[in-house]
Amino acid sequence: MSRVFRIIGAIIGSLFVLLLLIEVPYLFSLIGGTTDAWNRLSLIGQAYGSVSAIISAIALAGVVVSLVVQRQQTRIAAQYSFRQQHFAVYRAALDDPALMECIGSNQDLDISKRRQLIYINLISTFWYSAWHVGDLRDAELSSNLKSEIFSTEIGRLWWQRAREFRAAAHDQTLSRFDQLIEAAYQEVIASLVAAAAPQSAAGERA
């Protein structure tokens, strides 16, 4: 985001310098001069006319970029507020096991596992927020998922159940995030299957 602001600042600075150059003929005219000097300044002023049109276009582009950035910031702020409320709701359930009975999903599991699934879901929500704004790269996300979530049985159970209803999400950004989760999950499952194969073969020979 800071890079966008630097670009906008550079555009504004360039516009200021170019506008100053456009006014040079006028400033010289205030000083006075010969007819030839006036003619030369007039030609220079005409040449600056086309530059002025380009500058106006650049200025308009700068305004558009600024509005786009502002809109994106507003959307991110709204998403952050929503996730804070989401966290508060589930935090209440984590603090008071009796409230877990109000959550219809995973009723077949005991309270301990249901709380663990909620906690993992909160972790994934935090990672999504970081990934969405660019603070968490795809490779980092994949590494975190494989080492911290899918290395555990409860972590794999979380995704086995969560992906069933998250697959219906129509948000393209969330779908892309879930694709990265699925890819990391499949890598871990493939590794577990490969590791179990020699043990299974050894057991059959015995």
Question: Which pTM value belongs to this model?
Answer: 0.60
* Residue ranges covered by each domain of the chain: 2-72, 99-205
Predicted confidence (pLDDT) per residue in 131-176, tens digit: 988 999 999 999 999 999 999 999 999 999 998 888 876 678 889 9
Place 58 in a pLDDT band, splitting at 50, 70 and 90: confident
Q: How many CB atoms lie within 10 A of CB 159?
A: 22
Give the pLDDT confidence of 27-49 residue by residue, as tens digits: 555 555 555 555 565 555 555 55
